[in-house]
Amino acid sequence: MKPIAVDEFCNLKFLSNVTLSPSGKNLCFTVTNADKAKNTYRSHIYTLRDGKPMKLTGTGKERSFRFIDEDTLLFPGMREEKDEKAPDISSRYYRIGLNGGEAELAYTFPIPVQGLTPLPSGDMLVTGTTFPGFEELYKGDKKYVSAYMKHMKENEDYEELMQVPWWWNGSTYTKGAYTSLYLYDAKKKRLERLSGLNENIGNVKLSSDKSFVYYMSCEVKPLLKLGASGTLCRMKVGEWKEERLFTSREDLDIHGFEPAEHFIYVFISDGHNGLNTDADFYKLTYDTNELTLIAKHGEAIGSSVGSDIRYGDGREVAAVGDALWFVSTRFDTAEIFKLENGVIEQMTNWGGSVDAFDVKGKKLVAIALKDMRAQELYDGKGKRLTRFNDAALRGKYVCAPERLDFTRDGVDIHGFVIRPAGFEPGKKYPVILDIHGGPKTVYGPVFYHEMQYWAGKGYFVIFCNPVGSDGRGDFMNILGKYGTIDYDDIMTFCDRALEAYPEMDADNMFETGGSYGGFMTNWIIGHTDRFRACAAQRSISNWFSFYGVSDIGVGFVPDQNAADPWGSPEALWDRCPMKYADRVKTPTLFIHSFEDYRCPIDQGYQMFTSLIAHGVEAKLVGFRGENHELSRSGKPLHRLKRLNEITGWFDSHRK
C-alpha cells in the first residue's frame, strides 16, 4: 500500500453545515477542498438528488446558507463586480433553487451582516456590525458611508484601544465594533435597529411557534470577562420590546439555548471547574420564565475530538418537539444523544466523531469521522450517503489507532498507538509523541492526516488523553496543576508504550504538540532529556506575557493556573516553561504564526531566544498571514511548509 502523502489533505473533501429543509424532505451541505495551485480553499453548496450529491454553486466561495422554504436557499456572497471608487461595506445575499440554475441577488444590506432569520411575514431579523462613532451606517446613507470610509483611511495607521481583549484570533483589532439586532422590512427594503447601543447580540433563534425571538445580549464593556456569556433576552415578534430573562453570573453561566415546543432548553454551568466547566440542562418556561434543572450532564456539548481534516462547522444541538438532540464528547468519541423527559439517551454508537448533524421529525443526517475515513455524510442508522473521499484514500496505508490504556494513581488514562507502514516484528522504529491542545480536548480513533503521514514515513505515532482532557466530566480539572499530573501521565504513557511495543526505539523518540500541546512541549524540554528533538507549535512559554497579549489571557491565566501576576507571582512563575529554559538540552523547533492572537508569537520568541542564549540548538519558523488555526485551516502551502519543517527536523535528528 502507498503511504499517505504530505499533501494528501489537498485531495480530501471537507464537509460541513448539513441542513435539512423545514419538512426534512431535502438537505444541503457545504463541501470544501484545498486548492494547492492557488493556495486557498474552495467551498460549494451541495444537495442530494436521487441519493447522489449535486453541486448547486460554482464560484468556490459559498460556505454558509439557510433554507427559506422547502426548495430555496439563501447564501451570502459577492458576485457583482465592485466599483473600487465607490465606498461600500455592504453585504449581499443570493437566492438559489435546489433544481439548479443561476443564483439571483435577493438582498443587499448596507452593513456587514453575520446572520439572517426569516420571519413568517416575509421580513427578516438581521445581525449586523455596528461601528462606534458611526452607529447609523445601517441606514445606508451614501454620504455617511463615505465619511466612515474616509475616517478609516485617515486612521489606518493607528489603533485606539479602550477594551480588553482588543483583538481576536483569526480576526484583527476589534476597533470596538459589535453586533446589533435589526429588523429588515422587505417591502421598504430598509433596516431598523432593535437592540441598544453598546449591546453585543448573538445566537438569535425563534420560538417554535415563531411568536418570540430569543437571543443572547452582552454589554460592551472595557473588560470582557471570559466565561460570562451575558443575558438571555426575548422580544415578541411585531412588538419588538426587549425582555431580559436571565443574566449569567459566576455560579450560573449560560453556554447556549435551544427553543423547544413548550419551553426553552438552556445550557448552564455552575463554574466548579473554572472556565471549562461543562453545562447542565435547564428549562425556561415560555409563559412564567421559570428556570428549573432538567438533567445533570457534566460533559462537553459538541465534539472535542481532534483532527486536521475539517473545514467549517455545523449544527450540534437541535430540538424536535420537546426533545433535545445534541452532540456530546464522551471519553474518546463524540456521539449524538437525546434528552427527553429528563432522561439522556445515546442515539449513535459509531466511534470517532459526529461533527455536525440535523434532525427533522424522524429523519437524522450527520457529518462524521467514522471507520477511519475522512468526513462523509451518514443517515441516522450510520449508513454512508456520500463517498467523496473514497478515491483519495484507496490503496493508501491508513492504520487504525490501537488502544493502550493504563492506570496511574488509581486513574484510568486512555492512549493510542499507530504502527508504522511496513511494520516488521523485531525491527526498531522511531517514535513521535503527539500532544493535543486545549487541554480540554481529546484524541480519538479518527483519521488524522499528520499522524498517518508520519506512520507512512516509518514512525510509530503515540498519543494519549492525560488528566485535563475532555469527555470525562471533572477529569478535565487541572486548575493550578499544569505541568504536574498531566506531565506525569504523558511520561508514564511513553513508558507503557515502550514496554508494550519493543519495536519502539527509546533512543529515537520525538515529541510535538500545539497550543496546550505547545505549552507541554516547552515544559517537557525543561524537565526531561528523553527526546531526541521536539517541535513546539503555537505554544505558551510565559504566563505573565500571555496574560497581557493573548485574546483570552486576562481570564484564562488566573483561571487555569489558580495564580495571577500580582497576588501570587511566585506560583505563576513556577508554572512557566520559561523558568526552566536554562535546563534545556533538547534541540527544539518552534512553529508560530504572526497573526496568532490566541498564543501570540512572542511566546515562541521568548523560548527560542532563551534556548539560543543557553547554547541549545533551536529554530523558529514564523508564518505570515496565519493564525492559531495554521495546522487545521491555514493556506495549503503553509500547511505543507509546517508539516515538512516538523518532519524534516525529526528526520535530521534521528540516530
Q: What is the pLDDT of residues 630-642, one digit of tens each?
A: 999 999 999 999 9
What is the CATH code of the structural domain delimited by 397-652? Answer: 3.40.50.1820
Instruction: Give the alpha-carbon dihedral of 107, 111, 112, 116, to 10 degrees.
Output: -40
Please give the pLDDT value at position 590.
99
State how far Cα 251 lies from the chain centre: 25
pLDDT recorded at residue 269? 94
pLDDT score of 83 more than 70: no
Q: Give me 55's grid cell.
A: 453541486
CA 266 to chain centre: 21
Tens digit of pLDDT for each residue in 182-206? 999 999 999 999 999 999 999 999 9
Residue 456 has a pLDDT of 98
| C-alpha to C-alpha distance for 541 and 440, rounded to whole angstroms | 19
| pLDDT at residue 82 is higher than 80 | no
Q: Residue 100: its pLDDT value, please?
A: 75
CB 522 within 8 A of CB 535: no
pLDDT of residue 227: 62
The average pLDDT across 172-177 equals 91
Give me the residue label for grid cell 434532525: 359
Tens digits of residue pLDDT in 23-44:
999 999 999 999 999 999 999 9
C-alpha cell at 345: 439517551
Residue 223: its pLDDT value, please? 86
Give how far Cα 384 sits from Cα of 9, 91, 142, 366, 387, Å. Answer: 21, 36, 51, 10, 8
Q: What percent of the chain has pLDDT over 70?
A: 99
Residues 106-113 have a mean pLDDT of 96
Q: 60 phi and psi, to 5 degrees?
A: 85, 10
Confidence of residue 597 (pLDDT cuts 50, 70, 90): very high
- Please provide the size of the chain in residues: 655
Tens-place pLDDT, residues 419-440 = 999 999 999 999 999 999 999 9
Tell how far CA 604 is from the center of its chain.
Answer: 22
490-519 average pLDDT score: 98
Residue 88 has pLDDT above 90, yes or no: no
- How many Cα atoms within 13 Å fall on the side-chain side of residue 153? 7
Report which of 35, 631, 41, 638 is spatially closest to residue 309, judged by C-alpha positions: 631
Closest to 80 measured CA to CA, from 66, 99, 59, 64:
59
Ranking 91-100, 401-410, 570-579 by mean pLDDT, the lowest is 91-100
Please tell me the distance from the alpha carbon of residue 177 to that of residue 187, in angstroms, as a whole number.
Answer: 29
Q: CB burial class (10 A; 0-12, 13-18, 19+) of residue 72?
A: middle
The residue ranking higher by pLDDT, 208 or 651, is 651
pLDDT band at 101 (very low <50, low <70, confident <90, very high): confident
d(CA 558, CA 568): 10
Query: Other C-beta atoms within 10 Å of 160: how many?
Result: 10
* Contact between 21 and 27 (Cβ < 8 Å): yes
Domain definitions of the chain by residue range? 9-110, 397-652
- Cα(573)–Cα(564) distance, rounded to whole angstroms? 9
Contact assessment for residue 534 and residue 526, using Cβ atoms and an 8 Å cutoff? no
Mapping DSSP to helix (H, G, I), strand (E, B) and coil, where does residue 538 land? coil
> How far, in Å, CA of 526 to CA of 466, rounded?
19
pLDDT band for 80, please (50, 70, 90 cuts): confident
User: Residues 383-393: pLDDT tens digits?
Assistant: 999 999 999 99
Residue 328 in grid coordinates: 456530546
Q: State the residue for C-alpha cell 495607521.
A: 157
Mean pLDDT over residues 593-613, rounded?
98
Q: Distance between CA atoms of 581 and 593, rounded to whole angstroms?
A: 22
Provide φ and ψ at 45, rounded to 5°. Answer: -90, 135
Digit-coded pLDDT (tens) for 458-488 = 999 999 999 999 999 999 999 999 999 999 9
What local confidence, expressed as pLDDT, does residue 298 receive?
83
Whole-angstrom CA distances from 436 to 192, 330, 367, 444, 479 are 46, 16, 22, 11, 17
Q: Report d(CA 39, CA 32) in Å as an integer.
A: 13
H or E element, residue 613: helix 602-613
pLDDT for res 44: 98
Peptide bond into 222 cis (omega under 30): no
Question: 94: which residues sit within 8 A by CB, 6+ positions away?
Answer: 74, 75, 76, 77, 79, 103, 104, 105, 106
What pLDDT does 92 receive?
A: 96
Q: Which residues are paired to 15 by β-bridges?
A: 31
Half-sphere exposure of 179 (CA within 13 A, CB side): 17
- Rounded to whole angstroms, the Cα distance separating 304 from 307 reads 9
pLDDT exceeds 60 at position 446: yes
Q: Is 632 helix (H, G, I), strand (E, B) or coil?
A: helix
Is 116 in contact with 93 (CB distance < 8 Å)? yes
**Averaged pLDDT score across all residues of the chain:** 96
pLDDT at position 78 over 90:
no
Express each pLDDT in 279-302 by its tens digit.
999 999 998 889 999 999 888 999
pLDDT digits (tens, 9 = 90+) for 199-238: 999 999 999 999 999 999 999 989 887 765 799 999 999 9
Could you tell me the three cell numbers for 538?
503555537
pLDDT in tens, 314-353: 999 999 999 999 999 999 999 999 999 999 999 999 999 9
Q: How many whole angstroms separate alpha carbon 411 and alpha carbon 422?
A: 34
Mean pLDDT of 538-557: 96
Pull the grid cell for residue 651. 528526520
